[in-house]
A and B are shown apart, each in its own frame.
Chain A
């Protein structure tokens, strides 16, 4: 079993849809949870950063962490074609960071 599981997709939605991206993990020591967005042939850029359990909202993006279920989510409201990218979940216990394989998202106009 991988330490971090993420459905690779691809996921295709119409513009304006609500997108839900998810990851599960097995290491209960993870305390920091992140979502990165990666455009094709580019480096990942940090989208959301959460410490421990709870929700965090930033504009159209909401990150949720449920440590009891070892499950994290990213919701994108009113999705735009510019949101088309690969989304990577990541989690760490200080310097031990693990990444999901990434979910490729396409938002169609």
Chain B
């Protein structure tokens, strides 16, 4: 079955540690996205990538980094520079020419202790 796989589903880390969230898709989508979801707020875009080896900052990129070495994979690193990293992180993908329909993964819940 085609879809987007995020791992891990739950992650606990100590303050000051970098963590990497995995996102893999087998939908043959060109574009991939990382969003952050906090209670009472809409999804906020962290980074997006429309093609391999290229990515763009979203609205809240500070303290995060990404790579896009393969079409299927778009890992997100939450660095120690991110001041408030505890959140629900969602990866999404679509075709570059799509009008906006996004397919989401199941999310990764990061808690920083």
By a beta-carbon cutoff of 8 Å, the part of chain A in contact with chain B is 2, 4, 6, 8, 31-32, 34, 36, 41-46, 49, 51, 88, 90-92, 94-95, 97-102
Contacts and interface: CB of A to CB of B under 8 A. Distances in A.
A59 B105 CA distance: 25
Interface residues on B, range: 20 to 34
A97 B107 contact: no
14 contacts: A32-B99, A41-B109, A42-B106, A44-B102, A49-B100, A49-B101, A90-B100, A90-B102, A94-B99, A95-B50, A97-B100, A99-B43, A100-B42, A101-B41
Interface string B3-35: 010100000000000000000000000010000
**Which 5 residue pairs spanning A and B have beta carbons closest together?**
A92-B100, A43-B104, A99-B42, A32-B100, A32-B99
B6 to A, nearest CB: 8
A109 B105 CA distance: 30
Interface of A is mostly: strand
Interface of B: 4, 6, 31, 40-43, 45, 48, 50, 88, 90, 92, 99-107, 109
Contact of B42 (A34, A41, A95, A98): A98
Contacts of B101: 32, 34, 46, 49
Contact of B107 (A2, A4, A42): A42
A41 B107 contact: yes
Given A43-B90, A88-B42, A95 B102 contact: no
Given A43-B6, A100-B42, A102-B42, 14 more contacts: A8-B40, A32-B101, A34-B102, A41-B107, A43-B92, A43-B107, A44-B104, A51-B99, A88-B42, A90-B100, A92-B99, A95-B31, A97-B45, A97-B102
Contacts of A49: 100-101
A88 B43 contact: yes
Most A-side CB within 10 Å, residue of B92, B99, B106: B99
A101 B42 contact: yes
Contact of B106 (A2, A43, A100): A43
